[in-house]
Amino acid sequence: MHFASTLLQTALHWLSPQGHAVIQLLVTTRGYAGSAHQIALAVGLRNRFQLSRLLDREGLPSLENLAGWIRVMIWVIEWETSRTSLSQSALEAIRDPAPCYRTVERITGLGWNRVRTLGSAWVVLSLMDCCRRNLPAFTHGVARSIA
């Protein structure tokens, strides 16, 4: 998933090194990185509360939603590169496909067929839009200038 990592690191260029580390960890684990406490420790924070503040400060969605965005992006990239269905991706990861389909709808507001048609570029742009809405007011000018 080197492509997904590079794509996100570039799209979310305003993130701090710790923010990028969270993204990298989530991409490496395909959006299943473990508990918030484990992720916090892995990126050099003391606890899940510091992680939550980091995500908030950098305009990123909650950890659960950020992990969902990354899972959706990976699934779409797999569809685009090898025509791997979402069901097949889920089963290969020893996961039930039904929650995966629900994740796509919860994160994007659209069904899997529509999201895969829109493509990975749309997923990244939608994630960026979500991040811009979450940025603190004093950084909106910077975030809007990247669009």
Q: Can you read off the two tokens belonging to residue 136?
A: 């603190």
What does the pLDDT read at residue 105? 98
What does the pLDDT read at residue 134? 72
- In this prediction, residue 144 has a pLDDT band, given cuts at 50, 70 and 90, of very low
What does the pLDDT read at residue 17? 95
Euclidean distance between CA atoms 54 and 24, whole angstroms: 15
Residue 141 has pLDDT above 50, yes or no: no
Euclidean distance between CA atoms 71 and 30, whole angstroms: 6
What does the pLDDT read at residue 147? 39
- In this prediction, residue 99 has a pLDDT band, given cuts at 50, 70 and 90, of very high
pTM to 2 decimals?
0.87
Can you tell me the mean pLDDT for 22-41? 95
What does the pLDDT read at residue 136? 66
Average pLDDT, the chain: 90
pLDDT tens figures, 57-83: 999 999 999 999 999 999 999 999 999
- In this prediction, residue 133 has a pLDDT band, given cuts at 50, 70 and 90, of confident
- Contact (Cβ atoms closer than 8 angstroms) between residue 39 and residue 63: yes
What does the pLDDT read at residue 137? 57
What does the pLDDT read at residue 49? 97
- Contact (Cβ atoms closer than 8 angstroms) between residue 17 and residue 38: no
Percentage of residues in the chain with pLDDT exceeding 90? 79
